[in-house]
Chain A
Amino acid sequence: MSSSLVIIDKAPYGHENALSGIYIAIASLDRGMDSDVLLMGDGVYAAQKNQLADETLVYPSVSELIYPIFPHGTLFVHLDSLTQRGMKYEDLVEIAELIDGKTLYELSKSKKHIIKI
């Protein structure tokens, strides 16, 4: 079975990238691939819970859109990126899992395809 890691490092509503990265992960999981999403840099904002984008921006709420990757895929949030932005684990959607630098290294080594979007 092939595997992929989709890395999102852009904020969810300033760019189309977060939305598009999630679609790649969902499609990969639907095709039976071992696929996970990693949020780092400004991408960590995509995992913030209680987003109101669909009501206020008329844009799909990225934090809602990300749920279908669970349970077959994992939503990783880079711990250092989160801390640097003054955010806490409690601010994130329930499916988020924190990942440190060392584990991130092991994760990326284990994946066949890395999609940085």
Chain B
Amino acid sequence: MRIKDTNNRKSSQGKVMVIVLSDGPYISQYADIGYNMAQKALDLGYGVKIFLYMDGVHIPQKDQNPRTLPNISQSFEELIEKGCEIKACIRCAAARGYLDESQFLEGVEITSVYDLAEWMDENSKVVMLGS
């Protein structure tokens, strides 16, 4: 059973970094860059939320086996365990055949772009990564 570190969600500074990823894994380095940024921000005590948009919804797919490359879904599993909130756009997910969360890592939620809009508040900063 995975235990989430929910303390990280409410950081001491109350600041949250929102990362939007729009590229799929391996086609570019953006997923890895997003992971590294999130990891560092969590270590520094900031809250981190990741919104997967367009091809970004492929990132948390289970059972990836990239062989010669770092397995991005394992990296994202670490982020979830550290309290990072991850949501995937339902329009993008449905278009790519993800009809529910069963194909995703545990803890990834399929939701609408309206949730991204709600994350963009005065306490957050959005970083968009994608080509």
Contact = CB atoms under 8 A, between A and B. Distances in A.
Contacts, number: 46
Contact of B120 (A17, A28, A30): A28
A33 B120 contact: yes
A116 interface: yes
A27 B113 contact: yes
Interface string B115-131: 01110111011101010
Interface of B is mostly: mixed
Interface of A is mostly: mixed
B122 A24 contact: no
Interface in A43-90: none
A117 B120 contact: no
A115 B20 contact: yes
Scoring A20, A114, A116 by chain B CB atoms within 10 A of each residue's CB, the highest score goes to: A20
A17 B38 CA distance: 23
Contacts of A4: 120, 126
A8 B113 CA distance: 17
Given A2-B120, A33-B120, A117 B22 contact: yes
Contact of B117 (A16, A20, A33, A116): A33
Interface of B: 20, 22, 53-54, 91-92, 112-114, 116-118, 120-122, 124-126, 128, 130
26 contacts: A2-B121, A4-B120, A4-B126, A16-B54, A20-B53, A20-B92, A23-B91, A23-B113, A24-B113, A27-B116, A27-B117, A30-B114, A30-B117, A31-B118, A33-B117, A33-B120, A112-B120, A112-B122, A113-B120, A113-B126, A114-B126, A115-B20, A115-B126, A115-B128, A117-B22, A117-B128
